[in-house]
């Protein structure tokens, strides 16, 4: 049994992938070939957003959007400590300061009430920082509570960057993930719901000026001409070959989302004695991960032992919250600063989740968790 099975998917669409790769080998436009614009068009339409800008990774997508917004030294960016390092790393990389806000234990996403309290109580003068933006993360594929987050952000005049690295394909109250903030970043790392064969990412926004800035930042801050550089940018391009692979994978993506949902529904129906993920009404998760909460750390260890003995793979996302990471020690946070996050980190466990998980394997996972 695989934690994430990429082989089963490949055997379904191998011909299509090879044909798309062959097309790139024939036209030879390895950098910014026509597949890039095609992928951007299709994904912008799928998300219901005006502009999509393909780039080299989800991390670059986050970085480029913050650069387009002019985030830098002296700026505070509010985000969750219960996420992958990249979410806050890009803030620091630009010289800005991440300010962490604890999560809602029901969704593992940033808690809008705590966000409001954190911004209202933020002593900008003492910190020497200006609040500029919020980065909510759609953890495990479930969108954060954007109606509430956006209202808080509007009240405090902050920009909202949706970290949709795990949630492409999800929905929130009739809107699609990647359309839920002022801009969004997703990732095509192989293990993400829409994963490629290597690194890739995409920026989304309805803002024409931001989209224009992103196109420039993606290629060293180019202006009308490539050798006329009007701002500092990066080499953030997606490879044409990667776009060709993603175009083939995107054709079966809607069906894969349905299959993931079926696996999640079966888990939720059958798992006993653990906290199972709850998807709020009018929302659909992309089910990047199916994560359960054990009663305590000892209980999680017992479940892990049973799964390991049965040869069932599992993972812990994320064992060390960002405020406890060595890379962020200079921010001055302590153990106990974000009790909900710390409690979840000690009890959470992610189970095998992919569109091709056979019913027999699903039952083995359920048996391993339930201890039956």
Task: Check: CB of residue 181 under 8 Å from CB of residue 148.
Answer: no
Could you tell me the smallest distance in angstroms from the CB atom of residue 203 to ligand PLP?
A: 12
The H or E element containing residue 53 is strand 51-55
How far apart are CB 315 and ligand PLP at their closest, in Å?
Answer: 12
Is 57 near ligand PLP (CB under 6 A)?
A: yes
Residue 7 designated active-site: no
Tokens standing for residue 171: 């929905």
User: Minimum CB separation from ligand PLP for residue 186, in Å?
Assistant: 8
The distance of closest approach from Cβ of residue 191 to ligand PLP in the complex, given in angstroms and rounded to an integer, is 8
For residue 350, what are the β-bridge partners?
A: 291, 315
The Cα 345–Cα 65 span in angstroms is 29
- Binder of ligand PLP out of 35, 40, 182, 199 (CB under 6 A): 199
φ/ψ region of 141 (left if φ > 0, alpha if ψ in -120 to 50, else beta) reads: left
Which of 155, 157, 176, 192 is the catalytic position?
192
Q: Give whichever of 116 and 199 is closer to ligand PLP, judged by the CB atom.
A: 199
Contact 285, 330 (CB under 8 A): no
Q: How many helices (H) and strands (E) does the chain have?
A: 13, 12
Q: In the range 164-183, which residues lie near ligand PLP by CB under 6 A? A: 165-166
Q: Which is nearer to ligand PLP, 97 or 187 (CB)?
A: 187
Is 108 one of the binding residues for ligand PLP (CB under 6 A)? no
CB of 71 to ligand PLP, least distance (A): 16
Per CB under 6 A, 163 contacts ligand PLP: yes
Stretch touching ligand PLP by CB under 6 A, among 42-50, 118-126, 159-167, 176-184: 159-167
Sort strands 97-100 and 75-79 into parallel, antiparallel or unpaired: parallel
Question: How many angstroms separate the first and last alpha carbons of the chain?
Answer: 19
- Among positions 61-80, residues that touch ligand PLP (CB under 6 A) are none
**DSSP letter string over 259-307?**
HHHHHHHHHHHH--SSB---PPTTEE---S-EEEE-SSHHHHHHHHHHH
In the bound state with ligand PLP, the residue whose beta carbon lies nearer, of 166 and 362, is 166
Q: Give residue number: closest CB to ligand PLP.
A: 58
Q: Is the dihedral of CA 359, 360, 361, 364 positive or negative?
A: positive
Does 353 sit near ligand PLP (CB under 6 A)?
no
Helical segments of the chain, H only: 6-27, 34-47, 58-68, 86-93, 112-120, 124-127, 146-155, 208-218, 240-250, 253-270, 297-309, 339-347, 359-370
* Interaction of residue 20 with ligand PLP, rule CB under 6 A: no
Binders of ligand PLP among 200-219, rule CB under 6 A? 201
User: If binding is defined by CB under 6 A, does position 289 make contact with ligand PLP?
Assistant: no
For residues 83 and 98, the answer to whether their CB atoms sit within 8 Å is no
Number of amino acids touching ligand PLP (CB under 6 A) = 15
Nearer to ligand PLP by Cβ, of 171 and 187: the residue is 187
Please provide residue 228's backbone torsions phi and psi, each rounded to the nearest 5 degrees.
-110, 105
Residue from 53, 79, 87, 97 binding ligand PLP (CB under 6 A)? 87
Q: Does 291 bind ligand PLP (CB under 6 A)?
A: no
Does position 189 bind ligand PLP by CB under 6 A?
A: yes
Q: For ligand PLP, what does the binding mask look like between residues 133 and 152, x meaning CB under 6 A?
A: ----x---------------
* Closest to 176 (Cα-Cα) out of 208, 217, 204, 214: 204
* Residue numbers at the binding site for ligand PLP (CB under 6 A): 57-59, 83-84, 86-87, 137, 163, 165-166, 187, 189, 199, 201
Active site members: 192
């Amino acid at each position: 049994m695989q934690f994430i099975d990429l082989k089963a998917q490949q055997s379904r669409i191998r011909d299509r992938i090879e044909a798309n790769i062959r097309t790139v080998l024939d036209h030879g436009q390895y950098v910014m070939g026509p597949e890039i614009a095609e992928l951007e068009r299709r994904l912008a339409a799928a998300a219901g957003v005006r502009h999509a800008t393909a780039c080299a990774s989800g991390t670059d997508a986050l970085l480029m959007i913050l650069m387009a917004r002019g985030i830098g030294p002296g700026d505070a960016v509010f985000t969750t400590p219960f996420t992958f390092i990249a979410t806050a790393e890009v803030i620091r990389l630009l010289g800005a300061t991440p300010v962490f806000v604890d999560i809602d234990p029901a969704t593992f996403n940033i808690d809008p009430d705590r966000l409001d309290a954190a911004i209202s109580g933020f002593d900008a003068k003492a910190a020497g920082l200006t609040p500029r933006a919020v980065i909510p993360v759609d953890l495990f594929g479930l969108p954060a509570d954007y109606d509430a987050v956006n209202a808080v952000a509007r009240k405090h005049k902050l920009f909202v960057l949706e970290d949709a690295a795990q949630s492409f394909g999800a929905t929130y109250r009739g809107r699609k993930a990647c359309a839920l903030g002022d801009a969004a970043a997703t990732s095509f790392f192989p293990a993400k719901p829409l994963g490629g064969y290597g690194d890739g990412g995409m920026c989304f926004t309805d803002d024409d000026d931001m989209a224009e800035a992103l196109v420039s930042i993606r290629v060293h801050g180019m202006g009308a001409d490539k050798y006329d550089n009007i701002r500092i940018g990066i080499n953030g391009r997606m490879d044409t070959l990667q776009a060709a692979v993603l175009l083939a994978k995107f054709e079966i993506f809607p069906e894969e989302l349905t299959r993931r949902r079926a696996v999640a529904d079966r888990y939720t129906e059958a798992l006993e004695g653990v906290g199972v993920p709850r998807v709020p009404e009018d929302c659909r998760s992309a089910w990047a991960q199916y994560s359960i909460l054990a009663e305590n750390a000892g209980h999680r260890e017992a479940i892990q032992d049973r799964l390991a003995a049965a040869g069932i793979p599992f993972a812990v996302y994320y064992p060390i919250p960002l405020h406890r990471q060595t890379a962020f020690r200079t921010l001055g946070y302590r153990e106990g600063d974000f009790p909900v996050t710390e409690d979840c980190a000690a009890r959470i466990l992610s189970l095998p989740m992919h569109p091709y998980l056979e019913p027999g394997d699903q039952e083995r996972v359920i048996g391993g968790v339930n201890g039956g």
